[in-house]
Structure 1
């Protein structure tokens, strides 16, 4: 396995581990431990920003580096890998710059903790919808990352056997 392959697998694995930790550990923990839901939401938002930016940067690095050793790879498999990496990158960018920006604007419009807003209030409904989209987009990025991880690892293992 080449140093570049090792590095690519490491980067993707690090991001995937961080995204899994964020998804399954951070929100449940902070909403239990911190004294207010508003404070817990701020911690989750800040952590998600780190996940999104790192996914965007790592995705771009992995996409760019996929062109380095493309001659020895099945073209269809390479395109599939690049498509998955593009999905990861685009999902992180969309989650941060579209959904995250809209959530921020909604929080400013609301001007008070979300739990103080009536459940049927249009701003609260919009907030809940955007939160659902955010979860879906991050899930799509993570699924793409898992599949890409196994493609990268399989390609590295196959190149070892040659």
Structure 2
């Protein structure tokens, strides 16, 4: 059933390609005729060329739509084929059992002793600040200037 639909979609796609190529050739012929035609026939031929161009574009759209339909049918048949099969995976069979090597440091099995408490340092003593003797070394600079 899916093969028949696929073959029908391929035939439809091939027919769309032929229509698009035919319309493209007709548009090219109309364009060449428009170039060779006299000025009186030019407008009529330009209109025919525009119609042929539109027909070519519509044929190309039909071809692309047929291609999309074919792809959609393929996806739908793939989904249906997957849903028809009961896929069961035993996850327990995928689970790995880990065996850890023995711990090589038996001396570290005992916890360390609790450290002794450190005594609090003495509180700071408040002292009055020294009086200022001068600002920014003024006396020293004066002494150097006199020397």
TM exceeding 0.5: no
Higher helix proportion: 1
**Greater relative contact order, per chain length (Cα 8 Å cut-off, separation 6+):** 1
TM-score, length basis structure 1: 0.36
TM-score, length basis structure 2: 0.39
